[in-house]
Structures are given as C-alpha cells and as structure tokens.
Amino acid sequence: MAGGKKGSPSRSGVFNKPVDPLTEAFTQSISFDRVLCKYDIAGSIAHAKMLGKVGLIKRSEEETILRGLAEIQSDYDEGKINFSAEYEDIHMNVEKALEERIGETAGKLHTARSRNDQIALDERLWLRDELDEIARLIGNVQDALLDLATEYANDAMPGYTHLQRAQPVSCGHYLLAYVEMFARDKDRMSDARRRANVLPLGACALAGTSLPIDRQYVAAILGFDGVTRNSMDTTADRDYLLDFAYAMSVCSLHLSRMSEDFILYSTTEFGLLEIDDAFCTGSSIMPQKRNPDILELIRGKTGRSIALLSHYLILVKGLPLTYNRDFQEDKELLFETTLQFKGCLQIIEAVLRNLRFRRDRMADACELGYMDATALAEHLVRRGIPFRQAHHVAGKLVNLAVQKGVKLADLEIEELQSVHALLGEETRNVLGGKGVIGAYASEGSANPKFVLNAIEDWRSRLRGERGEPDPKAKRRPSKN
Ligand code: ARG
C-alpha cells in the first residue's frame, strides 16, 4: 500500500485525513458482502489471467497473483481470514489480503477494473449459482407433488370456487395444478439466469478503459454467454436482481397459496388431508392441538420476497446514471430473503412427502353439495338439449333432491323422467364423485386418465431437465 498507510486501499492520496470512525462503520459492507468472497476471488482470477494474456501484467506477476488468490480462497474456506471494516467491502478486503500475501504485485490486480463493475460481476456469479440451486429445489417439490398425484389420481375430491363446493376433480389433478405453477416459476428463474449470465466486467467505473483488455476472454473463463454492450448501462443496472426478486415473489405466492389450501383442508371442518406429526407443532396450553405452523410460516415468509421486490423498485427508481452507493443496499435483504426462500422450498418438499389425503372424507365430501349438477346438465346436452334448458332441468332436479334430502344419484328413475324424458338409468353413470371425474373429456380436464398421462409427461420433462436418461427410451439394437 502506498506509504504503508492504514485504511482502505481505495483511499488515495487526495485525502488529507483518515476517515472518521463513524464513516467507516456506516459505509462498510464487509459484514454482509463477505458472502460474495468466493465469487470475488473467481472474478479476480479470471481478470488476472486476462491481464497476463494481453500483457498488462507479466506472466510471472499473473502467476504470483493467482497463487495469492488461491491461498486466500483456501484460508477463507478454513475460516482463517479476518475481514475488517477498515477495508470497507469484500473487494478491498480481498485486495488487502492479497497484498499481505504477495506484496506490491497485488496492486496490479485492479488494473482496468472498478468496484462498480466488480460488484455487478460478483452479484451475477452469486445469482447464477443460487438460481441453479433454486431450480433444483423447485424440481424436488414438483417430484413430491407428482408422487402424491400418482397415489391419489383416481380419488375424487371437491373442487372449489368462491370456497364453495363446485365440481369434483381428481385429487391428482388438483396437485398437478401446483406442478404447473412451479414449472412457470422455474421458467422465470431460468429467464432471470439467462439475462444475468452476461459479463459486466470491463465496464470499469462507467466508461470502460483505455487499456487493451479482452472482455470476451474473461467471459469465456467465467462461463458467461457474452459481454454487456454498454458500459454505462452495465454499472447502472440492477435489472438482474429485479428479475430474480419478481421470480422469487411469484414462486413465494404459489408456495403461500398451497400452504393456505393445506391449512384449510387439514382443519376439522374440511378434514380432507393430514399433515404428518413430524411437521406439526403443539400448543403450550391446549393439549389437543396439532398446528400447521410450517405452512403458516411459509405463507408468512412470502412477505419477505415481496418486500425485496418493492425494495428494489424503490431503490432503483430515482437513481441518476450510473453507479450510486445506494446499490450497496441491494445485498443484505437479498441474501437473507433468498436463504429463507430456499428453506421454504426444502421444507415444503418434506411436508409433501409425508402428506396423506383422507380418501374417506374426500369421497364423502363429493357426495354432498350437488357437485354433479353440471355433469347432469352436460349429460342432457349430449342428448341434444340446449345447454340453457339442461341447466334449468338440472336445477329442478337439485331442488327436488334437496326437498327429499337425497343425492341426485338417489332420485328414482321416474323422478328423473318426470323432469325430463331423456333422463334414465345411464344418467346415474355420470353422477357422484367418481362418475363425474370419469366423464370429463376435454383436454386439461380433471379426469384421472388425463392425470396419469400428465404425470408421465411431467416425469419425463423433469428427467430431461436433470439430464437423466429416459428408462422407456428404446435402446439402439447392438451391432453384434
Ligand atoms: N460495496 C459496494 C457496493 O456494494 C461496492 C462498490 C463500491 N463502489 C464505489 N465506487 N464506492 O455497491
């Protein structure tokens, strides 16, 4: 360090005084951006290789720097590094640690680089890894849902609109609805990854550099799809975090709605499913209680993702181009929220793997509430009756059944025929939970047959995403 002075290497000769301790404490980010250490080092390794390649540093200096950076990484892994607020952030702390190990050569590493492009690089590298892990975790949740859907494909359960019993559906179909939502979430995550996977390094402070750097080379080393095109946009941009926060918020909404469903369905009032004891909590006073706290916490934690999204929208909204220190505020909430979000995905998978639907209660529930009235109307439509008239006839039969206190399927044939002559014995086939779900015929409908096909489809898609072979794929005949 010039003159061996204490303080951040970023404090040049322009200053006549050291920083006030309040300034140091207030501006430091090392207490939270240390999470980026591994990415900061990876970025520096690639940068040093590039500086060596284009001749901005000697090959021997490149080697010295790379050796020093490798040492820092292993010391960090072994918990042997003490980062200090005196050096502000992760970038300056790593540079300082390098200087302690290799001396003055460390000062060459920051050639043609600014913390403004460096932080964008670290964040993009971090995000890429997180997105990969999140996609894997969502895939596991989908897997658990598919197992449940397979188990309960043939069981009818009430489907609700307005939280009133509406029409029976295959329980598997209900579960696959969430598989769809999580697939869109993965799509959004991979979209966010694609946009984040562009190298910002080389934008330097905001304008690029007069030095002959090779950005494509750095991009190739770090596995980026390309380099950003405009240095000002690059240092002013946090869209990649906004994209991620949005994707995480929507996925959190899906987790929250599923939790809400299960909380409701596990009540004595609904009684459609049971959450395993291992995933319920008790009450400190009421001995009989089995509370779905996990699901409530997942629902509650949704606020964090949405808070992160609104935080970013507000953070970026009024910022003049390009970099502003406000950006330092993009990290703490991000790290904490992402950790919590991954925790939700992990535990919901476990909850799902131990969830039991109550076949008896689902079947009973399908017999109450005249949920087969629509199927009855459609049965008449198939016999040539205009839907509006069929709707009216079915309503009359519901009215009759209500008066008698019986199910539609329990009405006498004469009673059916007294309301419409085209009704008869076969009418009963489309009534009751099982009858109704077996009669659904449209693509995407709640018939168990379709559910089983959809499950197969999902399984092969998930295998494809994981790069696993399809067990049913025909092997090529061997040559001998
Ligand atoms: N800690 C800073 C951040 O998080 C790093 C970049 C600082 N750049 C600067 N010119 N002060 O954004």
Ligand 1 geometric centre to CA of 41 (Å) = 16
Is 173 part of the annotated catalytic residue set?
no
CA distances from 437 to 152, 167, 255, 416, 434 (A): 13, 9, 26, 21, 5
Distance of CA 40 to the CA centre of its chain: 25
Beta bridge partners of 177: none
Q: What is the C-alpha radius of gyration for the chain, rounded to an integer number of angstroms?
A: 31
Nearest residue to 33 (alpha-carbon basis) of 94, 75, 79, 78 = 94
3 confidence band (pLDDT: 50, 70, 90) = very low
pLDDT value for 4? 43
pLDDT value for 6? 58
Collapse the DSSP code of 161 into the 3-class scheme (helix H, G, I; strand E, B; otherwise coil) and give the result: strand
pLDDT cut 70: percent of the chain above it: 97
Q: Is 89 in the pocket of ligand 1 (CB under 6 A)?
A: yes
Domains and CATH numbers, the chain: 21-111 (1.10.275.10), 116-160+169-358 (1.20.200.10), 373-430 (1.10.40.30)
Predicted confidence (pLDDT) per residue in 296-327, tens digit: 999 999 999 999 999 999 999 999 999 999 99
Is the Cβ–Cβ distance between 120 and 237 less than 8 Å? Answer: yes
Peptide bond into 322 cis (omega under 30): yes
- The one catalytic residue in 12, 162, 284, 442 is 162
CA 402, CA 104: separation in Å to the nearest integer? 90
Collapse the DSSP code of 281 into the 3-class scheme (helix H, G, I; strand E, B; otherwise coil) and give the result: strand
Q: Is 93 in the pocket of ligand 1 (CB under 6 A)?
A: no
Ligand 1 geometric centre to CA of 83 (Å) = 16
| Of 11-20, 260-269, 371-380, minimum mean pLDDT range | 11-20
Ligand 1 geometric centre to CA of 432 (Å) = 65
Long-range contacts: 156-160, Cβ < 8 Å, 24+?
156/362, 156/363, 156/366, 156/433, 156/434, 156/436, 156/437, 157/272, 157/357, 157/362, 157/365, 157/366, 157/433, 158/272, 158/362, 158/365, 158/366, 158/369, 158/371, 159/371, 159/446
Q: Is 28 in the pocket of ligand 1 (CB under 6 A)?
A: no
pLDDT at 38 over 80: yes
196 confidence band (pLDDT: 50, 70, 90) = very high
Mean pLDDT of 381-396: 96
Torsion (CA) 139, 144, 145, 147 in degrees, nearest 10 = 130
**Residue 227 has what DSSP assignment?**
B
pLDDT at 272 over 50: yes
CA 393, CA 404: separation in Å to the nearest integer? 17
Strands (DSSP E) along 171-286, which ranges?
273-274
pLDDT at 1 over 80: no
Is the Cβ–Cβ distance between 387 and 338 less than 8 Å? Answer: no
Is 162 part of the annotated catalytic residue set?
yes
Predicted confidence (pLDDT) per residue in 213-240, tens digit: 999 999 999 999 999 999 999 999 999 9
Counting ligand 1 atoms within 8 A of each CB, the residue from 89, 312, 330 with the most, and so the one to mutate, is: 89
CA distances from 378 to 385, 393, 413, 417 (A): 9, 11, 18, 16
Most confident stretch, 1-15, 168-182, 275-289? 168-182
CB atoms within 10 A of CB 457: 11
CA 256, CA 283: separation in Å to the nearest integer? 23
CB atoms within 10 A of CB 412: 10
- For the entire predicted model, the pTM comes to 0.94
Structural tokens at position 473: 């794929």
Distance of CA 297 to the CA centre of its chain: 17
Is the Cβ–Cβ distance between 75 and 41 less than 8 Å? Answer: no
Q: Is 101 in the pocket of ligand 1 (CB under 6 A)?
A: no
CB atoms within 10 A of CB 240: 21
pLDDT at 479 over 60: no
pLDDT value for 2? 39
Ligand 1 geometric centre to CA of 117 (Å) = 9
Ligand 1 geometric centre to CA of 19 (Å) = 16
Q: Is 357 in the pocket of ligand 1 (CB under 6 A)?
A: no
pLDDT at 478 over 80: no
pLDDT at 62 over 50: yes
pLDDT value for 5? 47
pLDDT at 480 over 60: no
Beta bridge partners of 161: 164
Torsion (CA) 454, 458, 461, 465 in degrees, nearest 10 = 170
Is the Cβ–Cβ distance between 308 and 337 less than 8 Å? Answer: yes
CA distances from 328 to 88, 96, 321, 332 (A): 11, 20, 15, 9
Is the Cβ–Cβ distance between 69 and 223 less than 8 Å? Answer: no
Q: Is 40 in the pocket of ligand 1 (CB under 6 A)?
A: no
pLDDT value for 12? 86
List of residues 6+ apart from 55 with CB closer than 8 A? 212
Structural tokens at position 74: 């292993």
Q: Is 27 in the pocket of ligand 1 (CB under 6 A)?
A: no
